[in-house]
């Protein structure tokens, strides 16, 4: 289990599968153990189509990213095929973290 997992899309693994694998690894479980199927969160086929490369124009160097929450993780999919899954912290954890950082600045 890790707070953040970074994976790369491959020719044999589309974005949707890579995202599911990254979230499962981040949570320390098998992809089959995830409590919610990805298709209940977003259209997995549309996500794959968005990142299949066919929508890019020659000379287009603009960065685009898709961000969504899935099974307790924030998932960021970048146009270069990088998928980052980060565990979402609870509000109390975030407040505690901010308070700790503020105390360090004093």
For 25-35, what is each residue's pLDDT tens digit?
999 999 999 99
Q: Tokens standing for 72?
A: 């307790």
Q: In what order do the strands lie in the sheet with 73-78?
A: 4-8, 82-87, 73-78, 65-70
> pLDDT tens, 74-92?
999 998 889 999 999 865 4
pTM, rounded to two decimals: 0.77
Q: Tokens standing for 20?
A: 């599911």
């Amino acid at each position: 289990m890790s707070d953040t997992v970074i994976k790369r899309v491959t020719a044999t693994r589309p974005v949707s599968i890579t995202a599911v694998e990254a979230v499962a690894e981040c949570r320390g479980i098998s992809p089959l153990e995830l409590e919610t199927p990805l298709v209940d969160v977003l259209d997995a086929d549309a996500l794959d189509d968005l990142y299949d490369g066919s929508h890019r124009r020659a000379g287009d160097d603009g960065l685009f990213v898709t961000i969504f929450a899935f099974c307790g993780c924030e998932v960021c999919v970048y146009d270069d095929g990088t998928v980052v899954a980060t565990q979402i912290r609870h509000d109390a954890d975030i407040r505690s973290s901010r308070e700790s950082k503020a105390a360090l600045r004093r």
